[in-house]
Chains A and B, each alone.
Chain A
Amino acid sequence: MSLPESDLDLIVSELGREPTPAESVLFENLWSEHCAYRSSRPLLSAFDSEGDAVVIGPGDDAAVVAVPLSEHANTPPAERSPEDYSETYITLGIESHNHPSYVDPYDGAATGVGGIVRDTMSMGAYPIALTDSLYFGPFAREHSKYLFDGVVEGIADYGNSIGVPTVGGSVEFHEGYVGNPLVNVACVGLTDADRLVTAEAQSAGNRLVLVGNATGRDGLGGASFASEDLSEDAETEDRPAVQVGDPYTEKLLIEANEALIDESLVASARDLGAAGLGGASSELVGKGGFGARIELDRVHQREPNMKALEILLAESQERMCYEVRPEHVDRVAEIAERFDLGCSVIGEVTEGNYVCTFDGEVVVDVDSDFLTEGAPMNDLDAEAPAEPTVAVPDIGLAEAFEAVVSAPSAASKEWVYRQYDHEVGTRTAIKPGDDAAVMAIRETTGDPMDTSGDGTGLAISAGAVPNWTDTAPYEGAKAVALENATNLAAKGALPLAAVDCLNGGNPEKPAVYGGFKAIVDGLADMCSALSTPVVGGNVSLYNDSATGPIPPTPTLAMVGTRSGYDAPPAALAGEGELLVVGETGDRLGGSTYLAEFNGSDGFPALPDDPAAVIESIARVASLDSTLATHDVSTGGLAVTLAELVTETAGAEVTLETIAAAFDETPGRVVVETADSDAVRDAVAEGVPVRSIGQATPGGELSLTVGADSRTYDYEAIAALRSTIDSAFE
């Protein structure tokens, strides 16, 4: 790949000369789709990213959001006042590592974790939780299993080593990812008003200090690699563009970063990710309206005879660029030394251009704003997605139940999350396997060591459902946002903020771009309806290969808050009435049922007032009489009920139609309650509450649909749900 002719013309006219070789490569990378969002930025204005909670919105390394005080955590955001928020902040970031994970699943996924954790650190935050949303081709394919296994191991080895719990995420299998899997990693960090730093340079004369791993020739041109379709021979051809992670150094970097923040030694910070040192340093100074003078020879290097542009562009991992006041430079070097990290003072912030020298020669001399913000935007043709056809196969209850409950996307993900340390940090109150993780944010009590349980619970949910957005990109993306919010509400939390990772195919294809535009609008509209600011995100296009584009995939990582950390389990007690709160639809479009039996249908209607639904569910989850709650999503009510059954508690449920059992309309939960009147009193007007049966002692699910009845015991259900476990054991 090289610079497009039109870009080159623009650069020549701005510079008044031909760019140097180092400048050409810098522009090629920083103006790539991956860094400059040339095809997506025109669409992203659809997102509402403001609100009282938002401290720093999109555009920095990670977004920063204030956590409400515990006593206001259950107040709907629209009714909160600014003083209801504490000075405890969380950071939110999300990143894709799609192409690298195809070429080298283990290292590709591992370095994705490393990158998003450093984005968190550069805000002065300590990483407290990770989620991973993974998308592969059909599970039956050996190659999908190979990628899946490698990606999970890469995430586990890296995340576990650095001591950041992986508490949630999603795993989906779909034909559209055969040639292009997706790995979307989100990180939540914890900071406060005093510790917060940004990636915006503060003043000329400050030094630029590079801390971390030595720079080698690894990951050269990763940003431009991520901005093209994957070629058929990508696994061999593109391996040099994939970086190799070193979690031990990352952990040292986390500790060093904490020490630097403790002593207020950092004026601003940016992690080195896409486009390496050139990207990080130019963006850091450019964002502050400055330039820089950088001597590339000063960068600590791992191998001899590196060229200027290799030093500039290498994506060697575990490196941070800090802006440091001159009088603090020695202390920064001491701290780096204490943690066995390399450290070089590479230059300083200036009022002029972004200038790099190497071997006494100027190799880059450009305006930093032009370099980092000057990429022209693409105006691409969009073709509106087609309406789904209607062809719903008629399948018997037993066949349908067994196929859907054991479908890989609906089946148990225990094999995945058992490999992740999800408890390190001792904050994880609700663990994986439930609707949402809940982390204890004890800091909002004023005492970080508080163990009363009275802090703010931070619920986290992340994922997308490709069957939904493949069927109906706009409605499907709205459903993804509502589904993540429902996961939070099922554990009693109200949405606070979200970040998105928007994955699409080659945007130069009008049908692909049309689908992509639809998922952006769908996510944006539902998040607005829920008053949930979308505070940041990531765009990954060109997820396209010889087997075609991926389904448009809007991974959303949403966080919400509740007072305290305790929530009803997603497991039956065996003694209450079973209610469904929220509307069950009658359309099967996008469902696992139709995916399993090759049918097609329109997407189900979503609630008119989704905020009322979410608030109602959260109130119901907070009632003392609520014994269990579990959201309805992939696989519909059938899967929700199967998941609720335990060895000692089951259910007797009657539904009218097959559609009611397998429809996947989000914005619904199954509630086991000891007081159904209390549930009806807790929901807003217009939010339906329907009794579907009774929880029973003994681990059996008896399901009656129309004239057909089936009973499955816990062992039979566990066997159906073990599709993934049993394939790997």
Chain B
Amino acid sequence: MTVAVVQFGGSNCDRDAVRALTHLGIDAERVWHEDGLPSETTGVILPGGFSYGDYLRAGAMAARSPIMNEIRSAADAGTPVLGVCNGAQIGCESGLTEGAFTTNERARFQCEPVHLRVERADTPWTAAYEAGDVIEVPIAHGEGRFEITDERYDRLEADDRILFRYCAPDGSVTEAANPNGSIGNVAGILGESDHVAVLMPHPERATLPDIGGTDGAGVLRAFA
């Protein structure tokens, strides 16, 4: 019974994810990608970082590594899978979720707190919130602008696949509150099934009470 936090070469939020889950009383361990998923895996996190240095395209190399086949099978079997930041890029590159996260509008790395509006509360990732809640979670990325064709975006909306949108503190979804130029202010989306999700903001950085806010803990409680 453990959540596998998958470490690729260049992952750098793997320890943080384990620390956050441990704080929540959820058993978690770092798993080196070449070692494959442990047999008792009950959840998977693709953590943030710069897998393979982002040298080809963010997430592109990791998406093609053998462990991703195992993760897809686990997801198909109902195991919750969460991609955070670089993990979200990997999720999109591997087809777990639609669209792509690409270079920020300002073409610079941005590390800052943002507000997110919870779009759906009936998923494992948002069971701790109400729809319309506003939570504060930090971002730290240079390639977090969500991109997708208009047609597919409409389908995402129609299918209720959007999990979080960047918003103002009062919950209004405005251009000013969009840190990176994401289409529809999208910060996180669901895969085909509700138990697969990716998001650019870092819930594990907003979970530990000793260093600040804990608004992100609800997302990780999906693994409890």
In the bound complex, residues from chain A placing their C-beta under 8 Å from that of B204 are 426
B211–A339 contact, CB under 8 A?
Answer: no
Q: Is A421 an interface residue (CB 8 A)?
A: yes
Q: Is A246 an interface residue (CB 8 A)?
A: yes
Q: Find the A residue at minimum CB distance from B52.
A: A248
Whether A442 touches B10, Cβ cut-off 8 Å, given contacts A418-B112, A419-B108, is no
Q: Is A722 an interface residue (CB 8 A)?
A: no
Q: Is A344 an interface residue (CB 8 A)?
A: no
Q: Is B1 an interface residue (CB 8 A)?
A: no
Selected from A156, A162, A418, the residue in CB contact (under 8 A) with B12 is A162
- Distance in Å from the Cβ of A428 to the closest Cβ of chain B? 7
Q: Is B20 an interface residue (CB 8 A)?
A: yes
In the bound complex, residues from chain B placing their C-beta under 8 Å from that of A246 are 53
Given the complex of chains A and B, what is the CA–CA distance between A255 and B48 in angstroms? 16
Q: Is B111 an interface residue (CB 8 A)?
A: yes
- Distance in Å from the Cβ of B30 to the closest Cβ of chain A? 10
In the bound complex, residues from chain A placing their C-beta under 8 Å from that of B15 are 425
Q: Find the B residue at minimum CB distance from A164.
A: B12
In the bound complex, residues from chain A placing their C-beta under 8 Å from that of B106 are 729
Selected from B110, B111, B208, the residue in CB contact (under 8 A) with A426 is B208
B110–A163 contact, CB under 8 A?
Answer: no
Q: Is B138 an interface residue (CB 8 A)?
A: yes
In the bound complex, residues from chain B placing their C-beta under 8 Å from that of A153 are 108
A340–B208 contact, CB under 8 A?
Answer: no
Q: Is A453 an interface residue (CB 8 A)?
A: yes
- Distance in Å from the Cβ of A569 to the closest Cβ of chain B? 12
Number of interface residues of A (CB under 8 A): 39
Q: Is A161 an interface residue (CB 8 A)?
A: yes
Given the complex of chains A and B, what is the CA–CA distance between A424 and B17 in angstroms? 10
Q: Find the B residue at minimum CB distance from A249.
A: B53
A421–B109 contact, CB under 8 A?
Answer: yes
- Distance in Å from the Cβ of A233 to the closest Cβ of chain B? 31
B211–A427 contact, CB under 8 A?
Answer: yes
Given the complex of chains A and B, what is the CA–CA distance between A338 and B212 in angstroms? 36
In the bound complex, residues from chain B placing their C-beta under 8 Å from that of A160 are 50, 109, 140, 142
A328-343 vs B: 1/0 string, CB under 8 Å?
0000000000111000
Q: Is A3 an interface residue (CB 8 A)?
A: no
Number of interface residues of B (CB under 8 A): 36
Q: Find the B residue at minimum CB distance from A157.
A: B109
- Distance in Å from the Cβ of A728 to the closest Cβ of chain B? 9
- Distance in Å from the Cβ of B154 to the closest Cβ of chain A? 32
Whether A340 touches B9, Cβ cut-off 8 Å, given contacts A426-B205, A440-B211, A453-B210, is yes
B210–A565 contact, CB under 8 A?
Answer: yes
B12–A163 contact, CB under 8 A?
Answer: yes
- Distance in Å from the Cβ of A120 to the closest Cβ of chain B? 16
Task: Tell me the chain B residues, 6-26 only, with Cβ under 8 Å from chain A.
Answer: 9-10, 12-13, 15-16, 19-20, 22-23
Whether A426 touches B140, Cβ cut-off 8 Å, given contacts A247-B53, A251-B50, is no
B53–A451 contact, CB under 8 A?
Answer: no
- Distance in Å from the Cβ of B155 to the closest Cβ of chain A? 34
B210–A442 contact, CB under 8 A?
Answer: yes
Q: Is A139 an interface residue (CB 8 A)?
A: no
A338–B34 contact, CB under 8 A?
Answer: yes
- Distance in Å from the Cβ of A247 to the closest Cβ of chain B? 7
Selected from A161, A162, A252, A423, the residue in CB contact (under 8 A) with B205 is A423
Given the complex of chains A and B, what is the CA–CA distance between A371 and B143 in angstroms? 48
Given the complex of chains A and B, what is the CA–CA distance between A340 and B140 in angstroms? 27
Whether A422 touches B9, Cβ cut-off 8 Å, given contacts A442-B210, A451-B23, A565-B210, is no
Given the complex of chains A and B, what is the CA–CA distance between A594 and B32 in angstroms? 57
In the bound complex, residues from chain A placing their C-beta under 8 Å from that of B52 are 248
Given the complex of chains A and B, what is the CA–CA distance between A339 and B32 in angstroms? 10
B134-170 vs A: 1/0 string, CB under 8 Å?
0000101010000000000000000000000000000
Selected from B9, B19, B108, B111, the residue in CB contact (under 8 A) with A421 is B111
- Distance in Å from the Cβ of A307 to the closest Cβ of chain B? 30
- Distance in Å from the Cβ of A81 to the closest Cβ of chain B? 27
Q: Is A452 an interface residue (CB 8 A)?
A: yes
A416-455 vs B: 1/0 string, CB under 8 Å?
0111111111111100000000001010000001111101
Q: Find the B residue at minimum CB distance from A453.
A: B210
In the bound complex, residues from chain A placing their C-beta under 8 Å from that of B54 are 161
Q: Find the A residue at minimum CB distance from B32.
A: A338
Selected from B50, B111, B138, B209, the residue in CB contact (under 8 A) with A161 is B50
- Distance in Å from the Cβ of A244 to the closest Cβ of chain B? 13
Q: Find the A residue at minimum CB distance from B214.
A: A451
Given the complex of chains A and B, what is the CA–CA distance between A153 and B54 in angstroms? 16
In the bound complex, residues from chain A placing their C-beta under 8 Å from that of B112 are 418
Selected from A418, A422, A429, the residue in CB contact (under 8 A) with B210 is A429
Given the complex of chains A and B, what is the CA–CA distance between A160 and B209 in angstroms? 24
In the bound complex, residues from chain B placing their C-beta under 8 Å from that of A422 are 111
Task: Tell me the chain A residues, 535-558 only, with Cβ under 8 Å from chain B.
Answer: none
Task: Tell me the chain A residues, 407-422 only, with Cβ under 8 Å from chain B.
Answer: 417-422
A248–B19 contact, CB under 8 A?
Answer: no
In the bound complex, residues from chain B placing their C-beta under 8 Å from that of A252 are 9-10
Task: Tell me the chain B residues, 168-224 only, with Cβ under 8 Å from chain A.
Answer: 202, 204-205, 208-212
Q: Find the B residue at minimum CB distance from A425.
A: B16
In the bound complex, residues from chain B placing their C-beta under 8 Å from that of A163 are 12-13, 49
Q: Find the A residue at minimum CB distance from B9.
A: A252
Q: Find the B residue at minimum CB distance from A414.
A: B112
In the bound complex, residues from chain A placing their C-beta under 8 Å from that of B23 are 449, 451
Q: Find the A residue at minimum CB distance from B212.
A: A429
In the bound complex, residues from chain B placing their C-beta under 8 Å from that of A565 are 210-211
Question: Quick one: which of A162, A418, A423, A453 has the most chain B CB within 10 A?
Answer: A423
Given the complex of chains A and B, what is the CA–CA distance between A729 and B107 in angstroms? 11
A440–B210 contact, CB under 8 A?
Answer: yes
Q: Find the A residue at minimum CB distance from B12.
A: A163
In the bound complex, residues from chain A placing their C-beta under 8 Å from that of B210 are 429, 440, 442, 450-453, 455, 565
A262-290 vs B: 1/0 string, CB under 8 Å?
00000000000000000000000000000
Whether A428 touches B211, Cβ cut-off 8 Å, given contacts A419-B109, A419-B111, is yes
- Distance in Å from the Cβ of A297 to the closest Cβ of chain B? 29
Given the complex of chains A and B, what is the CA–CA distance between A451 and B140 in angstroms? 23
Q: Find the A residue at minimum CB distance from B16.
A: A426
A424–B110 contact, CB under 8 A?
Answer: no
In the bound complex, residues from chain B placing their C-beta under 8 Å from that of A255 are 9
In the bound complex, residues from chain B placing their C-beta under 8 Å from that of A440 are 210-211
In the bound complex, residues from chain B placing their C-beta under 8 Å from that of A162 are 12
Whether A424 touches B10, Cβ cut-off 8 Å, given contacts A247-B50, A418-B110, A419-B111, is no
B9–A453 contact, CB under 8 A?
Answer: no
Pick 14 A–B contacts, CB within 8 A, sort by A. Answer: A160-B109, A161-B50, A161-B53, A161-B54, A163-B12, A163-B49, A247-B53, A252-B9, A418-B112, A425-B15, A426-B16, A426-B19, A429-B210, A565-B210
Q: Nearest 4 pairs between A and B by C-beta?
A: A163-B12, A248-B53, A453-B210, A429-B211
